[in-house]
Structure 1
Amino acid sequence: MKKYLAVCALLAFSTALSAPASAQKEGSEEGGFGSLSGKLKLASNYMYRGLSVSDDGPQLQGSFTWAHDSGFYAGVWASNTSAGGEGNSVEIDPFVGFAGTVGDSGVGYDIGFWYYSFPGSVADLDYWEVYGILSYTLGEADLGASVWYANNYFGDDFFPDTPSYALQTTASYPLPIGEGVSVSGKLGRQIFDESAALTAQDYTYYDIGVSKAWDAVTLDLRWHDADGVKPDLAAPENVGSLVASIVFSF
């Protein structure tokens, strides 16, 4: 792993979270042409849908997001990773989307395109996903549901032509033990269209954790896990982990 390359790439972007613009509102700098926000995240593991993609090692993750008042947004996201095949140690993902609310219903929506790239890889493992997200606040609880679709989840050189879907729900609720303290969780199902090379790999993933937020800093302790993961998809030691993280918003 060329970790020096990964660190340099992330610091060049200088910021973090793997969420679309609907979740990247704080820390933005307003201007006549929209707002610019950024985040920097340090975590004990890089977990993606219940699986570690940093070989259970630490993660440095950063992002920039530009958002316009119309609802259009675009950005770039980056992290060190053990995914992406031989020669690769960094993931760099550009994304674009559009977010807003449905009239006065209180229902938020976010639709977008996310491109996963592994620039150092010898193999072609890049792929893209399109997503749609609905959100709603019920009392003090924030609820969400989303669908993610990839036409070639593993890229051209590893289980090629394998479409996939991820169906996901999220919820968060403030805890009455201090300002900025909340509990949140996620439940999702990763579904693969079966091909000649890949069969019966669908699995369920979830996480639950507690976070404490200040103005520009958030601490989080979270358990990630997955059920039904087969060894040819991920090594058993890379399934599930307790992750501590700190996020700085700019």
Structure 2
Amino acid sequence: MYKPGAAKLKKYLAVSALLAFSTALSAPALAQEEGSEEGGFGSLSGKLKLASNYMYRGLSVSDDGPQLQGSFTWAHDSGFYAGVWASNTSAGGEGNSVEIDPFVGFAGTVGDSGVGYDIGFWYYSFPGSVADLDYWEIYGILSYTLGEADLGASVWYAKNYFGDDFFPDTPSYALQTTASYPLPIGEGVSVSGKLGRQIFDESAALTAQDYTYYDIGVSKAWEAVTLDLRWHDADGVKPDLAAPENVGSLVASIVFSF
């Protein structure tokens, strides 16, 4: 995750802030990829991602270094899914270099309306950290296909943002919209983007930390391989939350689905 500024570095054991799963991948998408192993008890799928930087909500959480990220998801026909996500990270404080996140949720569609929904729980853990930085988020996602465009909106809530040793007792919300559209320049080529707002509950220890984040990029998919080139950025990020050099980056990535 992103590296906090000097004030928080001294107070919170050189903590780097919040980590989550890759913005391009949602749990239901992981569960429904081609090539998953299907059976009477559901299907199993996974992804492996290599990227030039690990960006989360506009902020680098690998200190502008490369990312290796993997995930496995089991999904049932009922809509229930569960899995685990992991990545290297510069977040998690002293002694930590990896994040391992279990998740669980339920996804489906609203009748014949074309509206999809996804409700879930995500737990962020930093097993090597000497600080207490583990926390959870619950999320709700709506999706809709309008012509050839795929649209989405979501809300994420954390009761205690990044654990007891970062911003103690500080709830946070992330409100996010996404859109993607196929480009007429070749099969599997699309443009997509995201616009979000990270909102913190102000307290005596944390004020005026809200910020806006966004990304835009192009991708090309061949069967189980996807290449992506994307610009990530954020506006209004304060030094307590992230160092200026860790805000915004152009990222190239390749994802293998299985």
Change (3 A) 1:137 1:2: farther
- Aligned residue among 39, 52, 74 for 1:66: 74
Secondary structure, aligned partner of 1:229: coil
State how far apart, in whole Å, the 1-side matches of 2:23 and 2:175 are.
Answer: 28
1:143-202 CA distances to partner (integer Å, 9 max, x unpaired)?
Answer: 000000000012011221110000000000000000000000000000000121111000
Change (3 A) 1:183 1:128: same
Change (3 A) 1:170 1:35: same
Change (3 A) 1:186 1:11: closer
Change (3 A) 1:75 1:3: farther
Of 2-11 and 228-237, deviating more is: 2-11
- Aligned residue among 204, 218, 228 for 1:210: 218
Change (3 A) 1:153 1:4: closer
User: CA RMSD for the aligned pairs?
Assistant: 4.8
State how far apart, in whole Å, the 2-side matches of 1:70 and 1:12 are.
Answer: 26
The answer to whether the 8 Å contact 1:78/1:92 transfers is yes
1:196-245 CA distances to partner (integer Å, 9 max, x unpaired)?
Answer: 11110000000000000010000000000000001111000000000000
State how far apart, in whole Å, the 2-side matches of 1:13 and 1:204 are.
Answer: 18
1:122-159 CA distances to partner (integer Å, 9 max, x unpaired)?
Answer: 00100100000000000000000000000001201122
The answer to whether the 8 Å contact 1:134/1:145 transfers is yes
Of 22-31 and 172-181, deviating more is: 22-31
Q: What TM-score does the superposition give when structure 1 sets the normalisation length? A: 0.92
State how far apart, in whole Å, the 2-side matches of 1:5 and 1:31 are.
Answer: 47
Identity %: 97
State how far apart, in whole Å, the 2-side matches of 1:126 and 1:78 are.
Answer: 14
1:26-64 CA distances to partner (integer Å, 9 max, x unpaired)?
Answer: 331111100000000000000000000000000000000
Q: Which has the higher contact order (CA 8 A, sep 6+)?
A: 2
Change (3 A) 1:152 1:13: closer
1:75 shift after superposition? 0.2
State how far apart, in whole Å, the 2-side matches of 1:5 and 1:51 are.
Answer: 19
Residue 133 of structure 1: aligned partner:
141
State how far apart, in whole Å, the 2-side matches of 1:16 and 1:146 are.
Answer: 13
The answer to whether the 8 Å contact 2:22/2:56 transfers is no
1:17 shift after superposition? 4.5
Q: What TM-score does the superposition give when structure 2 sets the normalisation length? A: 0.89
Change (3 A) 1:112 1:196: same
Change (3 A) 1:135 1:104: same
The answer to whether the 8 Å contact 1:17/1:62 transfers is no
The answer to whether the 8 Å contact 1:6/1:89 transfers is no
- Unaligned runs of 5+ residues in structure 1 are none
State how far apart, in whole Å, the 2-side matches of 1:138 and 1:172 are.
Answer: 10
Of 90-99 and 18-27, deviating more is: 18-27
The answer to whether the 8 Å contact 1:167/1:188 transfers is yes
Residue 116 of structure 1: aligned partner:
124
Secondary structure, aligned partner of 1:22: helix
The answer to whether the 8 Å contact 1:109/1:135 transfers is yes
Secondary structure, aligned partner of 2:19: helix
Secondary structure, aligned partner of 1:2: helix
The answer to whether the 8 Å contact 2:14/2:93 transfers is no
- Aligned residue among 53, 62, 67 for 1:54: 62
Give runs of ≥4 in structure 1 deviating > 3 Å: 1-24
Secondary structure, aligned partner of 2:187: coil
Secondary structure, aligned partner of 1:5: coil
Change (3 A) 1:145 1:10: closer
Change (3 A) 1:18 1:41: farther
Change (3 A) 1:202 1:3: closer
